[in-house]
Amino acid sequence: MRKILVVEDEEAIREVVGLNLRMAGYEVYEAASAEEALTVFKECKPFDVAVLDIMLPGMNGFSLCENIRRDSATVGIIMLSAKSQETDKIRGLSIGADDYMTKPFSISEFLARVDALVRRVTHNAPEEQAEDDGRMVSGVFVLDQKSRVLYKNGQPIDLTQVEFQIMELFFANPGVALVREKILEGVWGENYFGDVKIVDVNIRRLRMKIEDEPSAPKHIMTVWGYGYRWNS
């Protein structure tokens, strides 16, 4: 059974979300604060997905996200917030969240996003990779599909599952301009409900990790008004 961590200080919301996730077949763990969530996460891991409210007492959801992401590159993270400001969305995605929803939200849409994220995370888990999976090579980069690690000049670079999948898409299409919608569909799935800007945020994060000078990228090139192109 897939495990979900729900962190929400409003008891009514936490109970509704938890109940619906359990009815959908998930094993659900709940926490009312970030501090409690970190304890639960460490004691009961691994989790497939963590659902984090931003406005929490004490440590906020952004800091919690950073803590969880440092501990695990594979867990899927969905941020929840009553705010609709673009800056909150960008910040959440920039620090490692995979998706973002603004309250109030439809339970059916929420479950659809959780299902999609769980499928993506579990499909790409290292232990579920076929034994004959090899390595994808592009210039000084090697994408190891068994260990789910990217190497640059032999040095490992830690990537989230989403970042790794974007790199797989790039390596499979070298020199090809990929429109943002194609990247969104290829990584998040054709039924994803979110904003295409999530692609831009993850590209920015990838450049910080793999480019010598992120502000002057040589590998992940912007195709203005269209999308991105990978150069080895």
pLDDT one-digit tens code per residue, 193-222: 777 888 999 999 999 999 999 999 999 999
pLDDT the model gives residue 132: 43
> Averaging pLDDT over each range in 43-47, 123-127, 143-147, which range is the top one?
43-47
pLDDT the model gives residue 57: 93
Give CATH 1.10.10.10 domain extents, the chain: 126-230
Q: What is the pTM of this model?
A: 0.73
pLDDT the model gives residue 123: 60
Give CATH 3.40.50.2300 domain extents, the chain: 3-123
Which among 61, 58, 59 is positioned nearest to 69, based on CA atoms? 61
**Residue pointed to by tokens 């569909």:** 185
pLDDT the model gives residue 22: 95
**Total count of residues recorded for the chain:** 232
Query: How far is Cα 66 from Cα 81, in angstroms, rounded to an integer?
Result: 16
List of residues 6+ apart from 80 with CB closer than 8 A: 8, 51, 52, 53, 54, 61, 101, 102, 103, 105
134-171 burial: b if 16+ Cβ within 10 Å, else e: eebebeebbbbbeebbbbbeeeeeebbbbbbbbbbbbb
Token output for 139: 């210039």
State the average pLDDT over residues 135-144: 90
pLDDT the model gives residue 195: 79
Query: According to the CATH classification, is domain 126-230 in 1.10.10.10?
Result: yes
Task: Quick: pLDDT tens for 170-190.
Answer: 999 999 999 999 999 888 877
pLDDT the model gives residue 10: 93
pLDDT the model gives residue 95: 87
| pLDDT of 13 strictly over 90 | yes
Fold of 3-123: Rossmann fold (3.40.50)
pLDDT the model gives residue 91: 85
Q: If you average pLDDT over every residue of the chain, what do you get?
A: 88
> pLDDT tier at 130 (50, 70, 90 boundaries)?
very low
Query: How far is Cα 112 from Cα 115, in angstroms, rounded to an integer?
Result: 5
Query: How far is Cα 70 from Cα 144, in angstroms, rounded to an integer?
Result: 21
Which among 70, 123, 65, 71 is positioned nearest to 99, based on CA atoms? 65
pLDDT the model gives residue 125: 54
